[in-house]
Amino acid sequence: MFDVHTHLTDEGIFRDLEGNLRRAREAGVRRFLIPAYSPLFWERARDIAEKNRDVYFAIGVHPLFLDDKEPLGLREALVKHPKCLAVGEVGLDAFLPGSDLARQSAWFEREAAFAAEYDKPLVIHCRKAYFELLELLKRQFQAKPVSFLLHSCSCSKEQLGPFLEMGAYVSFSGTITRSNARKAKELALSVPNERVLLETDSPYIGTDKVRPPLVRPLQVMEVAEAYAELTGLSLEETEKLTEANSERFFNFEKAAPAFFETDRRS
């Protein structure tokens, strides 16, 4: 199983990083991706990935952390690291009143162009700004197409359609484990199986059994069980499907062949 979105750098998880990784591995989680959403966490994400063969990372600036200082030259150095698989998480967030979407959009355009320049996929965060996001991606695609993942997607099925036409992958988190999450489950069923990835967004998104901030990468198994039940797949089929999708989306064999082969043999 691959948790494609876990914040191992955040203090709640980082304080017992070894224990959290051990418990997840014992449950069957084989890979982890840290979306380092602020320059303040980029180097910590790299360090964790270098010390753990099954951990990878992405770098980006989340729309709520645009004011965090970015050391000169660090972005270009880290994106070339063999375990940096993506640019993210980046995106738009209009959840809070007074959100500056113009500023966020300018940053997103910069991040998308950066991902295209270095041939990395985008891990995208979006809340209540899917129309604006679609227009920005269309503009980027006119310059150069870029692969992208809508992480913990929360849009409607109708909103999702144009993104799927552009080749979007979609990841689902603990929301689909909840009995009352009808919209999220319908959305998960509307995504082609070969485009689905699974995540926890730990420690931030709760599951049916565990509330934030106590969510850990271990809970991706609960997400996998929910997706399996939803689709009629077995848990083993779900694990194989979503791992293969993750390897394809992050282009493992090209991006990190040495680490990938070691991971595969273990």
Query: Is the separation of the CB atoms in 108 and 141 below 8 Å?
Result: no
Average pLDDT of the residues in 231-249: 97
Radius of gyration of the chain (CA): 17
Average pLDDT of the residues in 105-122: 97
pLDDT of residue 254: 75
pLDDT of residue 261: 54
Count other Cβ atoms within 10 Å, centred on residue 216.
Answer: 23
Q: Which amino acid is at 112?
A: A
Average pLDDT of the residues in 234-240: 97
Query: What's the CA gap between 181 and 258, in Å, rounded?
Result: 40
CA angle 164, 167, 168 (to 5 degrees): 65
Banded model confidence at residue 256, pLDDT cuts 50, 70, 90: low
CB neighbour list of residue 56: distance below 8 Å, 6 or more residues apart: 31, 32, 33, 34, 49, 83, 84, 85, 250, 256, 259
pLDDT digits over 17-51, tens only?
999 999 999 999 999 999 999 999 999 999 999 99
pLDDT of residue 140: 97
pLDDT of residue 265: 46
Residue 130, classified by CB atoms within 10 Å of its CB into exposed (0-12), middle (13-18) or buried (19+), is buried
pLDDT of residue 260: 57
Q: What is the mean pLDDT of the chain?
A: 95
pLDDT at residue 264 greater than cutoff 60: no
Q: What is the 8-class DSSP label of residue 171?
A: E
pLDDT digits over 74-108, tens only?
999 999 999 999 999 999 999 988 899 999 999 99
pLDDT at residue 119 greater than cutoff 60: yes
Q: Which domains does the chain have, with CATH numbers?
A: 2-85+153-265 (3.20.20.140)
Measuring CA to CA, how many Å separate 126 from each of 139, 141, 161?
Answer: 17, 18, 15
User: How far out from the chain centre does Cα 70 lie?
Assistant: 21
Pairing of strands 2-3, 31-36: parallel
pLDDT digits over 4-21, tens only?
999 999 999 999 999 999
Residue listed under structure tokens 């998480």? 89
CB neighbour list of residue 130: distance below 8 Å, 6 or more residues apart: 155, 159, 163
DSSP letters along 4-61, please? S-B-TTSHHHHTTHHHHHHHHHHHT--EEEEEE-SHHHHHHHHHHHHH-TTEEEEE--
Q: What is the 8-class DSSP label of residue 239?
A: H
